[in-house]
């Protein structure tokens, strides 16, 4: 007898239950802190690039998504501490599988990942990110390269201190010392 209206009962009962649907475009639910999103090329605190153009990320990449061309620093035109910098740096997001092997390979913590993921585009060309798009913005106190090394006399002064200097990529990376402190239960 109640068969025809039984279905309405189900709808009615569910109307007052909390719903699970995410309000995606209006509200972004934060990802996991170490979610593998788009890359960032970090800078030193004075604005020099951390990337030394060693191409280890390109070698580590299983999808051949990264293309690096190193170039020589000179005393007049200096982009990074040390001898070399990345003259060309490209990541093809239509090849990149966000595995993070490039991050593991990077010896200077130059390349890190953010949690950004809204990357869809209608042009294959625009999805090849170049160095301009990947480089971190200049924070206050930073200076647009090329310029001299402001924080030391040689690259040693930059990279030996790198253990405590995680760079710009908040969230994706802790410095080694912070990480050790976290694991041993101390404050970050």
Q: How far is the CB of 52 from another protein (least distance, A)?
A: 19
User: For residues 76 and 184, which CB has a smaller minimum distance to another protein in the complex?
Assistant: 184
Q: Is 37 annotated as ligand-binding?
A: no
**Nearest-angstrom CA–CA distance, 20 and 49:** 44
Residue 46's nearest CA partner among 71, 78, 69, 68 is: 78
* Beta pairing, strands 84-92 & 111-113: unpaired
| 106 close to 56: Cβ distance less than 8 angstroms | yes
Q: Is 106 annotated as ligand-binding?
A: yes
Q: Is 173 annotated as ligand-binding?
A: no
User: For residues 54 and 134, which CB has a smaller minimum distance to another protein in the complex?
Assistant: 134
User: For residues 71 and 98, which CB has a smaller minimum distance to another protein in the complex?
Assistant: 98
**Nearest-angstrom CA–CA distance, 49 and 168:** 11
Q: Is 26 annotated as ligand-binding?
A: no
Burial class (CB in 10 A: 0-12, 13-18, 19+), 97: exposed
Q: Is 19 annotated as ligand-binding?
A: no
Q: How far is the CB of 72 from another protein (least distance, A)?
A: 26
For 66, phi then psi, to 5°, come to -105, 135
Q: Is 99 annotated as ligand-binding?
A: yes
User: For residues 72 and 124, which CB has a smaller minimum distance to another protein in the complex?
Assistant: 124
By residue count, the chain amounts to: 188
Residue with tokens 């279905």: 7
Q: Which residues of the shown chain bind another protein in the complex (CB under 8 A)?
A: 19-22, 24-26, 28, 33, 38, 40, 45-46, 62-64, 92-99, 114-124, 126-127, 129, 132-137, 151, 161, 164-171, 174-175, 178, 188
Q: How far is the CB of 188 from another protein (least distance, A)?
A: 8
Binding-site entries: 51, 54, 57, 61, 96, 99, 102, 106
Binding-site entries for [4Fe-4S] cluster: 51, 54, 57, 61, 96, 99, 102, 106
């Amino acid at each position: 007898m109640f068969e025809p209206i039984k279905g309405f009962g189900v709808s009615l009962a569910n109307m007052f239950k909390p719903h699970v649907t995410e309000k995606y475009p209006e509200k972004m639910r934060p990802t996991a802190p170490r979610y593998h999103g788009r890359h960032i090329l970090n800078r030193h605190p004075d604005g020099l690039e951390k990337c030394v153009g060693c191409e280890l990320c390109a070698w580590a990449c299983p999808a051949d998504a990264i293309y690096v061309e190193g170039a020589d620093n000179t005393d007049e035109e200096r982009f990074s501490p040390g001898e070399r910098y990345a003259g060309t740096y490209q990541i093809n997001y239509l090849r990149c599988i966000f595995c993070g092997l490039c991050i593991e390979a990077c010896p200077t913590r130059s390349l890190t990942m953010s949690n950004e993921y809204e990357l869809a585009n209608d042009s294959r060309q625009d999805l090849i990110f170049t160095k301009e798009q990947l480089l971190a913005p200049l924070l206050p106190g930073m200076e647009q390269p090329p310029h001299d090394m402001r924080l030391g006399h040689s690259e040693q002064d930059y990279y030996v201190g790198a253990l405590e200097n995680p760079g710009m990529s908040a969230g994706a990376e802790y410095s080694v010392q912070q990480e050790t402190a976290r694991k041993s239960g101390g404050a970050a």
